[in-house]
A and B are shown apart, each in its own frame.
Chain A
Amino acid sequence: MTMYGPSGVDVGDPSEGSVDPAETPARPPGRTELVPRLLGPIALVVVMAALGFLLSDNVLLTLQEVLALAVFATATNLLLGQAGLVSFGQAVFYGLGAYTVALGWLHWQLPFWATFVMAPLLGALVAVPIGLVALRARRLYFALSTLAFSELAYQLAESRYDFTKGANGVFGAFVPTALTYPRTGYLFVLAVTVASLLLLWKVNHSPFGLVLRAIRENRGRMQALGVNVYLHQLLAFVISGAFCALAGAMFVVYSQSSYPELLDWTTSGGPVFMAVIGGMGTFLGPAVGAFIYQFGHDELVRYVSDWQLVLGVVMLVIVMFWPDGLLGGLGRLARLLRKRRGDR
């Protein structure tokens, strides 16, 4: 895993930060190295699957939501951490994914398996025109454009209520009964999460991912080298859109409903903040951030009446003093310790 720049994403000026050579593998890992590297993640997946039989129903249901958010945040981080594109509009796809399942059932009685597969496809499809338009704006203006798309989608969902059922949301039996049981639902969502994260990992570690990061570091240089920056960013946007939509469909397994708030800019801000908490410069950071944020939020809202105050203060402290996020900070700590040891 590589570290992306000293302070994570640079949205403004081209970054001077370079990738720490000690972190980059000089050659692809051989077979003997692969097994120990895979051991950690495999162990994690096994543990999480086992927990499906150990944890209470309540926690399993919350984990379903958290896993959906983990995919949402990781997909968003493809833009944020990898491509350096701050998007405040990924909720458009998240909500689109959720509404695909809900409205597919409501209007055309489509089965869950069909709509679940349709969701990421629709997400990718819709990402094309949005990306084409939004990517014409750079940096901050791109962020504002995606924010506008998010609000636009929310408005449409509220006002086209004959089709979308508006503010009341869509509630119904669109999830197969088997998946409504906490354990099976959790295992299903876990399986989809693992598959999605694997695919997103592949994207990060492909030549495409490398080019994205290079564009993020120095757009001008890449353009001079003949790289079609716009196309690469668009492709990243489409991939992110597809997985965000898939996350939305996963959310429906948990909530068995869809509603307009899933599209608005505050929902878009969620995965961004989760990526910041967990560490935008790392792959699992956003997933960790999703975990911390959702559990923290749920507990907070239940037990603290001034939860907005606490959430605001925590957010402020994190962005001010811990911008690399949890995993980023741990990584820095690890490198620091290693350097100390190396000095002796």
Chain B
Amino acid sequence: MDLASLVTPLVGALSAASSLFIVAAGLTLVFGALRLINLAHGSFYMYGAFLATTLAAWSAHTGLWIALAASPLLAAGMGVVVEVGVLRRLYAREHLTQLLATFALLLIFADLALRFWGKGVRGVSPPRVVRGNLELAGAPVPLYDLVIIGAAVVVGGGLWLLLSRTTLGWKIRAVVDDPEVLAASGVNVRLLYTGVFALGALLAGLSGVIIAPQQAVEPGMDAQIIVAAFIVAVIGGLGSITGAAVGALIIGIVETMGASWAPSWASTFIYLLMILVLAVRPWGLLGTPER
């Protein structure tokens, strides 16, 4: 077997998985702590990407680097506004209400984005240092794919550290099980909720700016990404970051195999997988069982 023919699909799968993970991580984190499905997650992602194009247009060399910090901050700010203004009032209500509310927000943000950035396609180039590719066992490996894989590792590792090694992380994990006890022990649960939602939004904004150099930044990208993020989060287990990583890997591999052998059926199979998981193990591969 020729090593080169293995490298390309492997890198392709890992890169696809990495993009999916970075986007889904925030979505699953927010569900894990707040028990809330945020359809507007895609909006934060889109705004992060659009801001990157604006900054890159303003300054060709440093714009993207500035966006790396600015986009997550913008998204986090939007997240705070959304949580305090809207979602806070809906925690006691049913999931349906929350779903509809976040869908309404998706519409609102989509329209505002059309106003700010227009209806055209925008683009941002990756920094010169990571353009092009390098040779690995005779096959070309895009440098930017390696950047995305690296970013996924950093985000995943950072989140793991945060959740398992810090007091904040412990509080985030605790608030799901027993918010009253946590509040009684002096933790400001309201602030915690806002913080977690903002963190989820921040991750979405970050994923937007990281993925933007490889994609077209255009209207509709908010709705496009949300379904994919969902599938990953559900299969991996809503609420589990490791689950999101596993789910992303599975989808990446299935897509790559599908692309080679049965191109038309890969996405059908992915939906079937999601349905199967929900039927047999609804809390996902690595989620916490709840009945």
Contact = CB atoms under 8 A, between A and B. Distances in A.
Interface residue SS majority, chain B: helix
B275 interface: yes
Given A152-B272, A319-B97, 11 more contacts: A7-B93, A144-B230, A145-B275, A155-B267, A159-B267, A312-B111, A315-B100, A316-B101, A319-B90, A320-B86, A323-B93
Contacts of B114: 308
Contact of B100 (A10, A145, A273): A273
19 contacts: A9-B94, A10-B94, A86-B95, A133-B279, A138-B282, A143-B96, A144-B278, A148-B234, A159-B268, A308-B107, A308-B110, A309-B107, A309-B111, A311-B107, A315-B101, A316-B105, A319-B104, A320-B89, A323-B93
Nearest to A276: B100
B246 interface: no
B94 A312 contact: no
A168 B267 CA distance: 20
A281 to B, nearest CB: 13
A269 B103 contact: yes
Given A152-B272, A308-B110, A139 B95 contact: yes
Interface in A84-121: 86
Interface in B247-289: 264, 267-268, 271-272, 274-275, 278-280, 282-283
A71 B241 CA distance: 42
Interface in A310-327: 311-313, 315-316, 319-320, 323
A165 B114 CA distance: 32
Given A148-B278, A152-B272, A312-B107, A143 B95 contact: yes
Given A9-B96, A136-B280, A144-B234, A308 B108 contact: yes
A284 B186 CA distance: 48
Nearest to B107: A312
A306 B111 contact: yes
Interface in B191-227: 227
Nearest to A308: B111
Contacts of B272: 152
A296 to B, nearest CB: 14
Nearest to A154: B271
B275 A133 contact: yes
Interface of A: 7, 9-12, 80, 86, 133-134, 136-145, 147-149, 151-152, 155-156, 159, 265, 269, 272-273, 276, 306-309, 311-313, 315-316, 319-320, 323
Contacts, number: 119
B279 A12 contact: no
- Report, nearest first, the 10 A-B pairs whose CB atoms are least far apart: A312-B107, A312-B108, A141-B282, A315-B104, A309-B111, A308-B111, A152-B271, A316-B104, A145-B278, A11-B94
B70 interface: no
B101 A320 contact: yes
Contacts of B231: 148
A280 to B, nearest CB: 9
B95 A12 contact: yes
A12 B105 contact: no
Contacts of B37: 140
A187 to B, nearest CB: 34
Given A144-B234, A311-B107, A86 B279 contact: no
B154 to A, nearest CB: 29
Name the interface size band of chain B.
Answer: 35 or more
Interface string B99-136: 11101111110111011000000000000000000000
A159 B264 contact: yes
A316 B86 CA distance: 9
Nearest to A140: B95
B206 to A, nearest CB: 25
A143 B238 CA distance: 14
B82 to A, nearest CB: 11
A137 B111 contact: no
B107 A151 contact: no
A136 B97 contact: no
Nearest to A321: B89
B112 A309 contact: yes
B42 to A, nearest CB: 13
Contacts of B268: 152, 155-156, 159
A221 B274 CA distance: 31
Contact of A152 (B110, B112, B275, B282): B275
Contacts of B101: 315-316, 319-320
A311 B100 CA distance: 12
Nearest to B280: A136
B9 to A, nearest CB: 22
B104 A145 contact: no
A317 to B, nearest CB: 9
B4 to A, nearest CB: 31
A265 to B, nearest CB: 8
A148 B275 contact: yes
Contact of A312 (B105, B234, B278): B105
Given A12-B95, A144-B230, A323-B97, A134 B275 contact: yes
Contacts of A273: 100
Contacts of A155: 267-268, 271
A148 B271 CA distance: 6
A86 B100 CA distance: 12
Contacts of A149: 271, 275
